[in-house]
Copies of this chain bind each other. A is one copy, B any other.
Amino acid sequence: MATVRLEVSQLHHPTSAPHAPLSADERLLRGTLHAQLDAAIAPASIALVGASEQANKIGGRPLVYLKRFGYQGRVYPINPARELTQGLRTWASLASLPEVPDMVIVAVAGDAAIEAVAQAARLGVKLALVMSSGFGETDAAGRAREQAMVAIARRHGLRIVGPNTQGLANFGNGAVASFSTMFTETEPADGPVGIVSQSGALSVVPYHLLRTRSVGVRHVHATGNDSDATACEMAAVVARDPDLRLLLLYLEGLPDPWNLAQAARIARRRGLPIVALKSGSTPAGQQAAQSHTGSLATEDRVVDAFMAQHGIWRVRSVNELVDAAPLYLKGWRPAGRRIVVISNSGAVCVLAADAASRAGLQLPALSADTREQLGRILPGFATTTNPVDITAALLSNSSLFGQILPVIADDPAADAFVIGIPVAGAGYDVDLFARDAAAFAERTGKPVVVAAPQDSVAACFRARGLPVYVTEDDAVRALAQFIGHSELMAQVNATGDALDGRWADAGPRRLGAGAASADAGADPAVVPGADPAGQPSPAQTLLNENDSLRVLAGAGVPVVAHRLCGALSEALAAAADIGYPVVLKGCSSLIAHKSDLGLVQLNLADAAALGRAHAAIGAAARSAGLVLDGMLVAAMVGRGRELMLGARRDPVFGTVLLVGDGGAQVEVLPDARLLLAPFDVDSVRQAVSQLRIAPLLGGFRGSPARDVEAFCAAAVRLGRWMEEGDHTVLSVDINPVIVGPVGQGCLAADAVVFQAV
């Protein structure tokens, strides 16, 4: 296996003409955008400030690990009080070294850490790995110290990983600049998995779990406070390692999605799957958007939308982060969700079918020919349908397994296989089963997973290269994740160009703040860790309904026929033009929830009813102390399905589109999906199909199928308008959009719009 170091050095020398100006996109894919950070994974030399003789101290362990894991670069312990540290010549200061090291590890505390960073910066070091804590993770004073340290580094072009990090580890080249206890406890082995984590513990727990399952892991990088270089930047660096076949991420915050987008893009070009565990609560910056849409759009759903858009599989636990790894590493390309289950236990067949159903996998029928052939091999009380139950007859005849597998392999119905061997051992030829199953996997080229609770049985299958799980539930869930992620990646690949176009030159200010303040020329590498949540949110004002509907119409969203009126005579004239029945609403830019104040009168059948409503709304406004901008007469739209459509500018992720169930209950019974730009009808349609109420849009019990296409088209128009338009609108919240029967379109019946002032 080639070392990363070689690969990185190749990447440093692009073969194209050096004078051709490179776009950020080209620089990204050629590896020059993050070139300096290559020193994080392949440093030619490492100095350690605060070197310690004691192997279990923060300043001692990196020296132990660099030696133990075969680092071939130059290592310089720095400690003015010592001449030798762990047998290595020790230097008094960074300035006294015979060369400028690529990486400086800072393992001293407080002001000494800042001073070490400053020295490294002045010397022209590429990367400082600051293990010291007591910075941004503590208090305001700590944050100030951290910002000061980063400012010094940036002045000289020094990149920082950390502070408050347990370090970086590359087992491909032995550059293990880490003080994690885990590498003492759990023996490493180089392999095709990379882990990048903001947390030290959550970098080594997945490492440990993978190693105990005999999976090799190359990269284990913890980035700590992400004061300068972030976990997402490191992910982009690691994603370029050509030996990698799976990249795992642990994130607590995602302030720089553009860096993750770059990592995802590199990974996508290489077919490298990324699985991410994103934990934690909503950042304060998300609370800036205060419309309905904003309050529904928690950061977590934006993260969901972002991950899905970029083909990253988001998981909720460490178990899910690692469980499907053996499947990813096999290089299988699943064609679909149809699985065949084979077991020597009928109960395992039933449980696997239950698990498949829960996980959204199907059990297709086997062909008549397959069944007939199985019937000739298996005893009469066995089952030849899917699941295939060999029964306990396997105890008497271990060859049954090997006999039926080729028959099933030839059946076109299956995309993947689950083999369950709940009990075997004495009396069974388990190694024969494993050989037969491996040959079967080879023959079909399709994913095969094994459920075998007994270690002895699992070991046989694992030795033959098959992914093995304890229970059928574990096996099916891992398979479903692998298949689902493969589908997602294929889908993102199909629409990847538009995605790349959006995110290629994206930086913090570009996405969040609208075209007016976009800074397309900003190089994300210059301000990579900037915290957009710290930007002041723009002052905003609510539009009244009439103005809101005008905005929508301008954005290309069909709106209900309406007219803003003053006196009753105007309203009567408007209603005559629009046609009864009508709706009358008090119109004001001071309130978003009109109906709560009695300012909405529905289904007014004639002039008399309109007159009464006009008087009632006027009285309601007066009793609320409200001066209305006028009254809005609108067509009473016939019975349709009420949906919700919203758009806003997220300070970090740019334009966010929301599609969901509509009506008055959306806050107590939310049912919505978010999408991020760029928008297209296919992804909106898919989001709508994932709503809980989606079955109601298809027509049922006398209710016609709804014009979902019209809704999706309106959503795309709104999203693109928000994204591309030259305007000051900050958020749009349309509820309800009344969706008519197929072919009859949809109409926005009410809307709340905020714009910047």
Contact = CB atoms under 8 A, between A and B. Distances in A.
B181 A428 contact: yes
Contacts of A698: 668
B133 A381 contact: yes
Contacts of A200: 345, 392, 423
Most B CB within 10 A of own CB, among A133, A186, A667, A668: A668
Interface string A335-367: 000000000111110110011001000000000
B696 A423 contact: no
Given A346-B199, A347-B252, A471-B318, A454 B208 contact: yes
Contacts of A423: 180-182, 185, 200-201, 204-205
A202 interface: yes
A277 B348 CA distance: 12
A490 B350 CA distance: 32
A351 B317 contact: yes
Interface string A13-51: 000000000000000000000000000000000000000
A142 interface: yes
A318 B451 CA distance: 12
Given A181-B427, A182-B425, A471-B318, A201 B139 contact: no
Interface stretch (A256-264, A648-656, A699-707, A721-729): A699-707
A319 B473 contact: yes
Contact of A350 (B182, B212, B252, B424): B252
Given A350-B252, A423-B182, A700-B665, A318 B473 contact: yes
A288 to B, nearest CB: 23
B280 A350 contact: yes
A380 B474 CA distance: 41
Given A133-B392, A593-B701, A665-B700, A279 B204 contact: no
A318 B454 contact: no
Given A381-B133, A422-B205, A701-B667, A471 B317 contact: yes
Contact of A345 (B199, B348, B701): B199
Interface string A303-328: 00000000000001111000000000
Contacts of A392: 133, 166, 200
A426 B665 contact: no
A368 interface: no
Nearest to A703: B664
Most B CB within 10 A of own CB, among A318, A380, A424, A473: A318
A595 interface: yes
A564 B154 CA distance: 86
A346 to B, nearest CB: 7
A453 interface: yes
A479 to B, nearest CB: 15
B596 A345 contact: no
A700 B667 CA distance: 9
Contacts of A204: 422-423
Contact of A425 (B133, B181, B198, B668): B181
A669 interface: yes
A701 B592 CA distance: 12
A495 interface: no
A303 to B, nearest CB: 13
A456 interface: yes
A499 to B, nearest CB: 28
Interface in A185-201: 185-186, 197-201
Contact of A202 (B212, B347, B595): B347
Interface residues of A, number: 85
B279 A347 contact: yes
Contacts of A537: none
Given A200-B392, A204-B422, A473-B319, A596 B427 contact: no
A157 interface: no
A403 interface: no
Contacts of A555: none
A250 interface: yes
A703 B316 CA distance: 36
A705 B696 CA distance: 25
Interface in A123-154: 133-134, 137-139, 142
A693 interface: yes
Contacts of A669: 692-693, 695-696
A561 interface: no
A460 interface: no
Nearest to A700: B668
A185 B454 CA distance: 8
Given A133-B392, A204-B423, A392-B133, A316 B142 contact: no
A696 B668 CA distance: 7
Given A355-B317, A381-B137, A701-B596, A422 B470 contact: no
A10 interface: no
A377 interface: no
A572 interface: no
Contact of A354 (B181, B279, B391, B426): B279
A754 to B, nearest CB: 20
Contacts of A329: none
Contacts of A208: 453-454
A197 B184 CA distance: 44
A344 B381 CA distance: 55
Contacts of A456: 185
Contacts of A166: 392
Interface in A246-302: 250, 252, 277, 279-281
Contacts of A471: 205, 317-319
Given A142-B381, A199-B347, A250-B347, 10 more contacts: A56-B426, A58-B395, A133-B391, A181-B424, A185-B426, A198-B347, A200-B423, A208-B454, A252-B347, A668-B698
8 contacts: A166-B392, A185-B423, A185-B426, A198-B347, A201-B422, A317-B473, A318-B453, A596-B702
What are the nearest 5 A-B pairs in CB distance?
Answer: A199-B347, A201-B345, A56-B427, A317-B473, A185-B425
